[in-house]
Structure 1
Amino acid sequence: MKWVKNFVLIVIGVFLYLAAITPIKAAAFSMSASTSTVSPGGTFVVTLSGNVTGNVFINVENGTASESQIWIENNSISVTITAGSRGVVRVRATPGEGLSDPQGNAVADTSSASVSVTIQQPTSSNSSRPSTPSSSNSTPVKTFNLNLSSIQVDGAVLSPDFSGDTVDYSVELPKGTTSVTINATAADSEVSIQGVGTHEVHEGNNVIELTTHHSETSTTKTYRIQVYVEEEPKVFLMYNNMELGVYPSFHGSEALEGFENTEVTIQDQQVLGKVNEQGLVLLYMVEESGEKAFYVYKDEVLYKYLPITIAGRTFISLEIPDDMKNMTGLIQQKITIDDVEYDGWVFEDETFSNYSLLYLMDEKGDIHLYQYESTEGVIQLYSGAAALKQESVDEMSNELNMMRIALIAVSVITVIILGAGFYFYKKKLSLQH
């Protein structure tokens, strides 16, 4: 039955080849590549499509992605991948926590999707091969330039700058924008362009494609423009007498190591957030000026998320409250640790010049005063008492001994006085009788 074994091996080989070039579909969304092969260092486009809303994290083996985190919202979104030098480029898309369907329900199957593209090495020409004489009757192969020479988006600037060889761009439009007009010019006047004109857009990500085509060829070229319309917050919270809005997505935010996407209920509404293993919750907030940043949300109060590392431990630096700025025995000033300045206090007593206090939040969200000792580089919870050196301990011991002796002397004198008084009182009573 040797032919059976050979047949099975052939089937397995065909399956593995198809798997390398065929996009794999996850339950939540589909993923496809614009090509099955790419030259070393070349680029290709991976497109994610699906009727889901949420963050998706992009991981690339043997290459790099233009974005490591994207937001999909019931549409298609593309990422440009740059290949390595050889082998196979593997791109994996993993949905973040909180992925939802068009009705806002959590998606049960959040498995990742992946696609592979083979890096094809260029074939070197053999200079020793004899050249074939050209025939005077042969017809030259006609080539067509399908490149665009320009793209203009009304009211927006393309990123990156336009180049005919670059096919992926992005633009950002202000909130409230409902349509955008796109114009383009072909490098060849005989090339037609589909997709120019006015397009309706909605909040969040929109994908608009421009396709070029020449009547004498079936080949086309597609340019993709990611149009992001600024989203409008629907939930607002106060921070330092300012009203901040909870941003509906993480567009423009940095990836935070150790945090996963989650949903937070605020004012009876579900908003996006991030949470770490210790339960610390972050919200992506936007000011009226449009500036965005992460804030810690704890007990319905916001704290700006400013992570720091001191003595190998991670904390969140906090602004010092007004009622703590003037504390007895302490002077508020900048504390320098490893060439970084923090708001804190030093002790008025120069005996404790190596000690300082910092107002910090730990990774669980608990807020404490911490005592830092500079010579050993040690940080620990502040007990509420000043740090003591050995000289201070000896001095306090001497003072206690003196107080003990004085107390004994006072006690002896008191007993003598009371005894004398009692003696004279008894003697007076005996004389009266």
Structure 2
Amino acid sequence: MKKISMLFIFCIGLLFLPLSIKAASFSVSASSYNVPVGSTVTVYVKGSDLTGRVDVSSSNNSIFSGGGYKWIENDTVSFKFTAKTAGSVTITVAPAKGTANSSGQIVNLSSKTIILKSYIPRALSSDNYLSSLSVDGVELVPSFDKDTTGYIVDLEPGTTSINVDATKANKYASVSGTGKISVKEGSNEINVVVTAENGAKKTYTITAVVKEYAPINVTLGNRDFTVVRKKEELIKPEYYNDTTIKIGEDYVPGFYNERTGYYLIGLKDVTGSVELYSYNATKKTYSSYTSLEFNKMNLIILEVDESKLPKGFEKDSITLNKKVITCYKNYELGITLIYGKSIITGEENFYAYENTDLTIQKFNNDAYDKLNEKIQLYSYMIVGLGSLILLILICLIISKIVKKVKLKNKKSEIEKTMNIDINKIKKEAKKDKNLEKLKKQQEKELKKAEKEKKKLEAKIEKQNKKRDKKQKNKEKDDNMFYL
């Protein structure tokens, strides 16, 4: 009983021991199982928890030769076999004796086999013909023949794509250049290429001619235009949507802006230059379209009746972005206005243009009118003040003239009262003037004579002094003689 209990406890204990049992194995595969004669095939041996040598052999080396042995250590090894002749062989993979798992335990594994077949390849086909060639909805000219490689198809105006279908004559050949093909107005060359199995190529060429629409001629002023009928020739402006516009019985591509209500079409001049014009479907008229962007504001430039111009402005023109546009200038105030419609809001207004920084600002006509009223009021005040000053000056001048006349009249009255002969008085005055002149001359002569007299007296006195001195010297000499 005690032995049974001990055995039971031992068995229970084994349940709680960590068990690690590894099963060694391997697998065999090939890069191809059906190999043409002359080609090489690779046989792979993949070991799992396996270490040792593996031998690989062919059951018939005259059909597949190769193989050998390699050491495998929990990895994959490969062996090459070459197909010599057509046939079938068995490739055997056998682990050698002494092969073990990763724990070093010797394992006995059975060999594994795979079947390889070899065949003599056929000659590659050189057939690069088509058995059929067509374009949906139109006929080829000439009719299809496998030996004819050039065809023409005529397409209606406005055609942008066609569907090309082709069938190869040989199943091993390949075909390119079929399916949906884009075309444009004029001649389009489409190449359908057939490549044979051996690589030889043959090209079938379809020339697809898209007819042009009948031209829509337009004359504006002295310039001749044609309406652009190809969408790819037009550049869509910002804030406009693509649309189709009917002109007569024809439809042409164009653009439409819901805010402004503008329809735009392209007109091409004789030089090939394309410009957008506004088209009025009701009036069937074309008008020049100029759109400019100022500080993130897109504006359609318009002309306005001169009767609607603010006071003081005159029609003129300026060049912006190499375009001559109509403007309105007040030369006295140095203001330039542009009339236009906002593409975003559709509102029409005058805009003040600043050429120094190329910006515009909505023109406030009410404020301008008030400013004009003030300027006019100031002008009236200045004119009134000037008139008042002029009137005062005139009054002063008249007063002075009147005063002078009165004085003259009074003088005349006095002269009449005294009965004085004015001419006589003038003669007497002249005579007195002559007498005065004579008197002055006499006084001058008298002064001159007086001066001469004084000079003579001085000379006489000097001579007298000299004589007296001489006399005294003589008397002195006489006295000395008597002594």
TM-score between both structures, scaled by the size of structure 1: 0.39
Q: Which has the higher contact order (CA 8 A, sep 6+)?
A: 1
The structure where strand makes up a greater share of residues is: 1
Structure of larger gyration radius: 2
The structure where helix makes up a greater share of residues is: 2
TM-score between both structures, scaled by the size of structure 2: 0.35
